[in-house]
Structure 1
């Protein structure tokens, strides 16, 4: 009898593991089970199908060679048998059997296995709201939801959309509604910022401001209490207001589907998810797991990590497929790199945000830099805002996040850091990180290297600055005279602000400070500002050397203040 490998779950991880194993063991039998009739698709592409960027639903199921990944494809091309619309109901580990049920006929059967893979994915988190089951309320959990949403839009039935949740999928769906279709779109988020836990409040506000410029409305720090409608959804209710809606998307995260594993006695996390080692084996050496139902290791602090992403599932699937065939490959963990397109900008990052690092127990600080993403003289340059999170004691880079108009350029920098996170890089490692250079693509001192140099200066006490949020608080107190606001740009740049705020805005160009510093007060903090933070940093160094005791540099300067929406 040939070896029989059974794979439960056929969206991302399952097909990758099955096909990799079959390539290595041509004489083995592989059975792939999934309870849906649409499987092996790119779920992360659903927002782009809804938006119209992807015109046909089947494009999310096709290979690069335009072949649809259906049952005949897997059987004829990959040598894998697929049982769709089939649910795995029980695993008998002692006798190595999987009990299954045909969801079309109700017929039950049993499959013997030699090795087993559990790739059951995750389920969208339900909020248990009154009205949650009304027609027109979706979780975007599968292709069926996507097709229904797209059909409603193309029929002209959707004029107002409400998205609950401002994570990746929520923001991508908001863009899909507002950008291509011009639908009046509102996002409600329980946290006080978008992309909670992923980026700092400053970067979140920069991204939010851009989305608001594109017509998306945000209500942050609000909880949806119920959804109302007669026959279909009509309203979303929070304690603060009622929002009209023709469609509601609930994007409140996902829960790993670990019931099969728990029921058969495999080790699982108390918070949900199947525990695996670096070979992607469960507590049973004959059973592997990965993807959205598994818990891996966080490479930043070695803690358990739930990271439901298609990229993770595919890489883990290959490792599992190889190990099923007798290899000893490993998946060491992940640092949590991400990217998300938000209209004409992108947000991306890797590792921990400042809040996340502090919550994990690190004595962390962050610095923020805005700089051209290529040579400053090259005509297609654009400004990239980066924030780096570092540990004071060890000088380790714990994370880096950013927002930029040139998304590919931003992702390239994030990927560079992501590639070395498993080695626990220090600020010096990123400061000297080799990146490809040519003026159309990067500056001679790349923004990534400059970011690390800025962090080095901050750790050494050379750059003592603040972000736009702190500047905004200072500015609100301007009438008290507590702070002295000093613009160190040339007079022509500072003149509009000198005219608008003659009592509060002051100007000494950075190059004139050595001969004019006696004009400055010594009894109050000096808050320095320039265009991007470079000249104000140089001015801060000068003033420190001249004996001033409290000089504060505005990191990112006017460019970040503008993106942040500071009202000056």
Structure 2
């Protein structure tokens, strides 16, 4: 059946839906409109163009075989009519038409549709600050923004930059400026950590400390109040606590869905923005579909509407919409919430809920943190990986896993393993026995995911009692008054340097000697057990508990996580 499909938006979801439909219904007509001259570009690649990892901005708009995805490409290769520099101003659902206006000439027109796709995306959240219109103040929205930022830096016009926001874009842009260009880079974040809500304070601090080693400065709990400049150019940023020099400012305070046109048309839209859709990606009008960054979808962990603006999700939803436009019944069940962000030569990733999110959703949640080698301990090329698992104590359901490790595939591969099964509501036992492809160059015989789940099992069952690196820091900082007995369970050569620096507080009994040397270990103090990763100290904890020691704490992640957290012992 031939039909006319109109698509509002030409970046990610729009082109995917249009192309899918044309493959299924070549006889149908598709008109795609976008108010910009730039369409079908990889917006998530912008920080990597700024950094120089992507050499030319045109690569963000090319196919894998180096064809530029412009209006001519879509017409000749895909059979799709594209109207660029054309803004959709109104949807008339009764007449089934979209009113449009040419942004250059002001010419107005009306386009009739049989079915409509709203793919209007999102816009950067504006802070409405005094001075945010100065030259050098940027929002990261499209390749033109990236070109402008990189040109200013490459010409030597930027010595200091301030980034507002420590989320995905803020951190990626901080890395780009500090690593490739050596720009003095400061991140101002209104909350108390990077990646707020997405990861625990412990993991966030590990990522923060690593970025600080790369030359990035952070100021948390601060609000930007004004941006100032001279001769029309930015020169400084004013916060509620300090003044920062800056020849470039990047505002990365998140995005908001472009859903006004849907709301004005009478479609169901959330009070804070975002179009409501069903599992078929239909709005409350059966002839209008919507998806991508302008929509809300179901969170499969909470069954509540959520906003997750990701290019990967937009592309998957675009295929579903294209299928359904052609009469199919493809479903988009919802999202788990998975992410990864590159931080120099490391990465931070996660899926599902962090502890903060789980507790806010009403779960009786706890978390455990583990640092372990990412492959067989005897294999020469190995790296430490830190994973944190969030579980519901009463049901043993795994609610999420977050991690910090190398920028290779090892850590994000573990996160993706959990992401793939999280919507089935797996338990601790499921992850304990999850099958991982094994070979010493790629994994340990007991993979870190299996060990992490076993660790969570021990915590839920009350066998393991402990703290993460943040809890250790609090105990260590108050060591003069808290009567703690810090017991290093490593072999003497590993423990000795710390003992020499802290002779009054740091003690050593290797885990293999605990049974024979219990007379050296006091029962009237709180024992804090430490080893390299937390494994041997856990064994020591079991031994001590079996022999009447009641106040014993194991440091999760051991010295590896303590060092990543930035605690000096």
Q: TM-score, length-normalised on structure 1?
A: 0.99
| Structure 2 counterpart of 1:321 | 322
* Aligned pairs, number: 568
Alignment of 1:507-546 (within 5 A): 507-546=508-547
| Structure 1 counterpart of 2:175 | 175
Please state how far the C-alpha of 1:150 moved relative to its aligned partner. 1.5
Distance 1:407 1:452 in 2: 22
Distance 1:309 1:117 in 2: 18
Any runs of at least 4 consecutive aligned residues in structure 1 with deviations exceeding 4 A, and if so which? none
Distance 2:427 2:487 in 1: 34
| Structure 1 counterpart of 2:473 | 472
SS in 2 for 1:479: coil
| Structure 1 counterpart of 2:189 | 189
SS in 2 for 1:234: strand
Give CA deviations for 1:119-153 in whole Å, capped at 9, x if unaligned: 00001001111111111101111122111111111
1:347 lines up with 2:348 in the alignment: yes
- Contact 2:525–2:551 (CA under 8 A) maintained in structure 1: yes
| Structure 1 counterpart of 2:89 | 89
| Structure 2 counterpart of 1:310 | 311
| Structure 2 counterpart of 1:164 | 164
Distance 1:320 1:460 in 2: 46
| Structure 1 counterpart of 2:562 | 561
| Structure 2 counterpart of 1:490 | 491
1:419 lines up with 2:426 in the alignment: no
| Structure 1 counterpart of 2:279 | 278
| Structure 2 counterpart of 1:75 | 75
- Contact 1:267–1:282 (CA under 8 A) maintained in structure 2: yes
- Contact 2:370–2:388 (CA under 8 A) maintained in structure 1: yes
- Contact 2:260–2:273 (CA under 8 A) maintained in structure 1: no
SS in 2 for 1:255: strand
SS in 2 for 1:233: strand
| Structure 2 counterpart of 1:255 | 256
Alignment of 1:27-176 (within 5 A): 27-176=27-176
| Structure 1 counterpart of 2:247 | 246
Distance 1:361 1:544 in 2: 32
- Contact 2:389–2:401 (CA under 8 A) maintained in structure 1: yes
SS in 2 for 1:402: strand
- Contact 1:347–1:407 (CA under 8 A) maintained in structure 2: no
| Structure 2 counterpart of 1:385 | 386
- Contact 1:487–1:508 (CA under 8 A) maintained in structure 2: yes
| Structure 2 counterpart of 1:265 | 266
Alignment of 1:358-397 (within 5 A): 358-397=359-398
- Contact 2:349–2:412 (CA under 8 A) maintained in structure 1: yes
Distance 2:209 2:93 in 1: 53
| Structure 1 counterpart of 2:295 | 294
Give CA deviations for 1:272-310 in whole Å, capped at 9, x if unaligned: 100001110011111100100000011111111100000
- Contact 2:369–2:387 (CA under 8 A) maintained in structure 1: yes
SS in 2 for 1:480: coil
Give CA deviations for 1:351-402 in whole Å, capped at 9, x if unaligned: 1111111111111000000001111111111000000000011111111100
Distance 2:513 2:364 in 1: 38
SS in 1 for 2:537: helix
Distance 2:430 2:424 in 1: 10
Distance 1:17 1:438 in 2: 40
Give CA deviations for 1:285-341 in whole Å, capped at 9, x if unaligned: 111001000000111111111000000000000000000000100011111100011
Please state how far the C-alpha of 1:481 moved relative to its aligned partner. 4.9
Question: Which has the higher mean CA deviation after the structures are superposed, 490-499 or 14-23?
Answer: 490-499
* C-alpha RMSD of matched pairs (Å): 0.9
SS in 2 for 1:412: helix
| Structure 1 counterpart of 2:436 | 435
- Contact 1:12–1:40 (CA under 8 A) maintained in structure 2: yes
Distance 1:159 1:472 in 2: 35
SS in 2 for 1:469: helix
Please state how far the C-alpha of 1:435 moved relative to its aligned partner. 1.2
SS in 1 for 2:224: coil
- Contact 2:2–2:25 (CA under 8 A) maintained in structure 1: no
Q: Which runs of no fewer than 5 residues in structure 2 stay unpaired?
A: none
Distance 2:498 2:310 in 1: 47
Distance 1:405 1:362 in 2: 31
- Contact 2:60–2:143 (CA under 8 A) maintained in structure 1: no
Distance 1:538 1:234 in 2: 57
Q: Which runs of no fewer than 5 residues in structure 1 stay unpaired?
A: none
Please state how far the C-alpha of 1:494 moved relative to its aligned partner. 1.2
Distance 2:500 2:28 in 1: 80
Please state how far the C-alpha of 1:499 moved relative to its aligned partner. 1.5
Q: TM-score, length-normalised on structure 2?
A: 0.99
Please state how far the C-alpha of 1:407 moved relative to its aligned partner. 3.0
| Structure 2 counterpart of 1:449 | 450
Question: Which has the higher mean CA deviation after the structures are superposed, 141-150 or 194-203?
Answer: 141-150
